[in-house]
Amino acid sequence: MCCSGFLKVMMFIFNGGIFLAGACILGVGVWVKVDSSSLLGLLDEVEGAPSGLSQLVNVAYLLIAVGAVLLVIGFLGCCGAVRESRCMLLTFFSIVLIIFLIEVAGAVVLFVFKDVAKQALDHLEDDVKKSIKEKYGNNEPFTSLWNATMEEFKCCGYKNYTDFNNSTFYIDHGRDLYPVTCCNETIAVCTTINAKSSMIDGCFTMLLQLIEENTVIIAGLALGIAALEVAAMVVSMVLYQNIGNKA
């Protein structure tokens, strides 16, 4: 009886951790989906952009799905322990095992993708700069998208303010004016001198940092969840066996 009570407590602890982790992943997925209209949206406007990068937005749906499944798993494990249902415990074990294998594969893919993303972004430079020169200040949707991205991430162009040289915006403003975000916020008019002294980081440098930071976080979270899942699977099977012996 004492052993059974201890196992139930352990199931609550492990599944509570899985439930909270699922909620976190679900939140990250929603954030990525909402944010995808900014930096990731620029990829659709760049000619020659690798199709793989344009699919980054699908990561949001994957995170939302994984988060929702983990929420269900955590709830299922707790209910199975409380009700001492062998069926629910066996279902819980099977689902967790499948999710565990998927997460291990996913963690490997994330680490590999980080390097792939860096290489792909490096090859985008010429195409992005060409798009800026041809469309910024001339194409309203493209210009608005860049403005929103630069304002949100406090960045300027692909690498720096010089990416706007000879663009329609640059030519129309006397060849000495850049987007305000390319200078410090305290400067009302962004000229060549101000932009040069500010040297705001490029937006795709920020994108690469964002990908790298979130890749490490997500992979680390996945490994932590995997440890909880292994422990929960072991406890669920022991509890499953004890319930069978009592029957």
pLDDT-based confidence at residue 163 (cuts at 50, 70, 90):
very high
Residue 220 and residue 44: Cα distance in Å, rounded? Answer: 30
Segment 55-88, tens digit of pLDDT: 555 667 777 888 888 888 888 777 777 777 788 7
Residue 159 and residue 188 in one domain: yes
Asked whether residue 43 falls in the same domain as residue 151, the answer is no
- For 11, counting Cβ atoms within 10 Å of its Cβ (0-12 exposed, 13-18 middle, 19+ buried), the class is buried
Rounded Cα–Cα distance for residues 44 and 27 (Å): 25
Mean pLDDT over 191-216 rounds to: 81
Co-location of 147 and 98 in the same domain? no
Q: Does 11 share its domain with 110?
A: yes
End-to-end CA distance of the chain: 14
The model scores a pTM over 0.85: no
Rounded to the nearest 5°, which phi and psi values hold at 191?
Answer: -105, 175
Same domain membership, residue 70 and residue 32: yes
In a domain, 208, yes or no: no
Show the CA angle centred on residue 200, arms to residues 196 and 206, nearest 5°.
Answer: 150
Give the separation between CA 189 and CA 200, rounded to whole angstroms: 15
61 and 37 in a common domain: yes
Residues 116 and 221 in one domain: yes
Query: Do residue 75 and residue 186 come from a single domain?
Result: no
pLDDT tens-digit series, residues 106-118: 667 666 666 666 6
Q: What is the pLDDT of residue 120?
A: 63
Q: Does 198 lie in the same domain as 227?
A: no
Q: Which of 237, 222, 214, 211 is nearest to 70 (CA)?
A: 222
Residue 20 clears pLDDT 70, i.e. is over it: yes
Q: What value does the mean pLDDT of the chain take?
A: 77
**What's the pLDDT score for residue 216?**
72
Give the pLDDT confidence score for residue 125 in this predicted structure. Answer: 80
Rg of the chain (C-alpha set): 25
Question: Is 54 part of any domain?
Answer: yes
The count of domains in the chain is 2
pLDDT at 55: 53
pLDDT above 70 for 44: no
For residue 4, what pLDDT is reported? 66
Q: Kindly state whether residues 64 and 21 are assigned to the same domain.
A: yes
Q: How far apart are CA 104 and CA 114, in angstroms?
A: 16
84 and 181 in one domain? no
Residue 151: pLDDT over 80: yes
State which of 31-45, 77-91, 136-150 shows the largest mean pLDDT. 136-150
62 and 159 both lie in a single domain? no
